[in-house]
A and B are shown apart, each in its own frame.
Chain A
Amino acid sequence: MKCPDLDRLIDLDLGKPDPELQDHLKGCRSCQEDMGLLYLLPTAAGLPEEVPDRLVDSVLDALPGSRGYSSPPVVSLGQKVLTGAIGFLTAAGGLVLTGSPGQGGPILLLVLSVPVGIFCGLLGNSVDGETVKGGV
Chain B
Amino acid sequence: MGAVVDLDRFWAADRAHLEEIIKAHSWIVLKVARRFGEAQDKTDDLYQSVWLRVIRNPRSYRGVGAFEAWLFLVATNLCRDEARRDVAERNRLEKVGRDDLLRDFVGKTPFPDESVISEERHAFVREAMRGLPAREAEAINRIYWEQRTYREAAKAMGIKEATVRSLVRKGITRLRSQEKGLEDEVS
Residues of B within 8 A of A17 (CB): 106-107
Q: Closest CB of chain B to A128's CB: distance in Å? A: 10
A37 touches B22 (CB 8 A): no
Does B137 make an interface contact (CB < 8 A)? yes
A48 touches B2 (CB 8 A): yes
Does B68 make an interface contact (CB < 8 A)? yes
* Interchain CA distance A13-B140 in the complex, whole Å: 13
Q: Closest CB of chain B to A69's CB: distance in Å? A: 10
* Interchain CA distance A132-B47 in the complex, whole Å: 12
Q: Closest CB of chain B to A107's CB: distance in Å? A: 45
Q: Closest CB of chain B to A20's CB: distance in Å? A: 15
- Would you give the 0/1 interface string for B110-142, flagging 1 where the beta carbon is closer than 8 Å to chain A? 101100110001100110010000000100110
A62 touches B27 (CB 8 A): no
- Would you give the 0/1 interface string for B157-187, flagging 1 where the beta carbon is closer than 8 Å to chain A? 0000000010011001101100100000000
Q: What secondary structure prevails in chain A residues at the interface with B?
A: helix
Q: Closest CB of chain B to A79's CB: distance in Å? A: 25
A27-35, A95-103, A108-116: which lies at the B interface?
A27-35
Taking CB as reference atom, which chain A residue is nearest B31?
A46
Query: CB < 8 Å: which of B55, B122, B165, B168 contacts A44?
Result: B122
Chain A interface size, as a band, is 35 or more
A132 touches B48 (CB 8 A): yes
Does B154 make an interface contact (CB < 8 A)? no
Which residues in chain A, 75-115, are within 8 Å of chain B measured between CB atoms?
none
Footprint of A on B, CB under 8 Å?
A: 1-2, 13, 15, 18-19, 22-23, 26-28, 30-31, 41, 44, 47-48, 51-52, 55, 66, 68-69, 71-73, 104-110, 112-113, 116-117, 121-122, 125-126, 129, 137, 140-141, 143-145, 147, 165, 168-169, 172-173, 175-176, 179
